[in-house]
Amino acid sequence: VAKDGGILDIGCGTGAWLQRLANAGYTNLNGVDWDTGQFKAQGATCTRANLDCDDLGLGERKFGLITAIEFVEHLECPGRLFHHVSNHLAREGRFLMTTPNIHSLLARLRFLITGKVQQFDEHGDSTHINPIYLPCLERTLARHDLQIERTWTYPPTAGGISSKASSVLAAKIARIFFRDLLPGDILCFYIRRKTRP
């Protein structure tokens, strides 16, 4: 996106991501969050909205880039986020979304053994309520005229930033027998409007 092309960060929190963009020379920076009192980014604006219910208060504005960094898992209804993105994403724009990765071999092994979803149990953030399951995400995005363009993880290799050493070792052993296509702790998506046939 151009430096002045219009960026919207949904669930912006303190505005740390927008501040990084401002420091890199981007202008026309906008955030949306329920708690605007915590917003501290210089060179950006923040609008108050309940993402599970409200309109975003942005009228007909369109953005070349919309981001939702570690936010969708906090929503009661993730489909509302995609509704807002579809309404405000420019025709050739892109949506960058990150969320905890429940698809890594480590996370799947943990679920197999404990029946608990990594980063959504008693050891994870208590405000994480909706893990993102890839087949369901693809179906939901399609309902909002959106599709995944690219998927990657952070860190890009297995290791588990937030995992115990014993779990990491078990996953390394399991990798001898099973493929780990999405090994990192965080799932990252680049999403665009659905391509018309």
Q: Residues 180-190: what's their mean pLDDT? A: 92
Q: What is the pLDDT of residue 47?
A: 95
User: Is the separation of the CB atoms in 180 and 119 below 8 Å?
Assistant: no
Tokens of 185: 């702790």
Q: What is the pLDDT of residue 52?
A: 81
CA distance 130 to 106: 19
Q: What is the pLDDT of residue 148?
A: 98
CA distance 116 to 74: 17
Peptide bond into 155 cis (omega under 30): yes
Confidence class for position 16, pLDDT limits 50, 70, 90: very high
The tens digit of pLDDT for each residue in 120-159 reads 999 888 999 999 999 999 999 999 999 999 999 998 776 5
CA distance 100 to 153: 9
Instruction: Give CA 137 to chain center in angstroms.
Output: 11
Q: What is the pLDDT of residue 162?
A: 55
User: Is the separation of the CB atoms in 100 and 73 below 8 Å?
Assistant: yes
**Higher per-residue confidence, 29 vs 170:** 29
Confidence class for position 73, pLDDT limits 50, 70, 90: very high
Q: Residues 32-38: what's their mean pLDDT? A: 95
Q: How many Å is the Cα radius of gyration of the chain?
A: 18
Q: What is the pLDDT of residue 54?
A: 76
Report whether pLDDT(171) > 90. no
Report whether pLDDT(62) > 90. yes
Q: To the nearest whole number, what is the mean pLDDT of the chain?
A: 90
Q: Is the full-model pTM beyond 0.85?
A: yes
The tens digit of pLDDT for each residue in 80-105 reads 999 999 999 999 999 999 999 999 98
Report whether pLDDT(161) > 70. no
CA distance 24 to 41: 13
